[in-house]
Amino acid sequence: MPQIVVLPHHLLCPEGAVIDAPAGKSLCDAMLDSDVDIEHACEKSCACTTCHVVIREGFESLAEAEEKEEDLLDKAWGLEATSRLSCQVILGEDDLVIEIPKYTINQVSEGH
């Protein structure tokens, strides 16, 4: 079972989190199941960028992003070479360290 380390995020998990989640589950679902309330405005259908994360460790162990995800990531705030949409990351056996960017482009959350 992989371990996901979520680095501290000022609103969603100020102290960070360590999550054990089964392989085959999406990263977004693993975080939501562990009370890390990451945004997912499109209900995890790969139609927005609100669940954008940066994979700080373990990126190379993940399946490559499909073209639709890559196209959406181009619109994400704080895009980095190891950015992914957490709804599209399916956990394997390797541990991950992730960072949730400070902002999203979701207009509903702009007041934060």
Q: Is residue 110 part of a domain?
A: no
CATH of the domain at 22: 3.10.20.30
Condensed to tens digits (0 to 9), the pLDDT of residues 40-95 reads 989 999 999 999 999 999 999 999 999 999 999 999 989 999 999 999 999 999 99
Q: Is residue 48 part of a domain?
A: yes
Residue partners of 35: CB distance under 8 A and separation at least 6: 17
Total of domains in the chain: 1
Can you tell me the distance from the alpha carbon of 90 to that of 79, in angstroms, rounded to the nearest whole number? 20
User: Whole-prediction pTM value?
Assistant: 0.90
Q: Is residue 109 part of a domain?
A: no
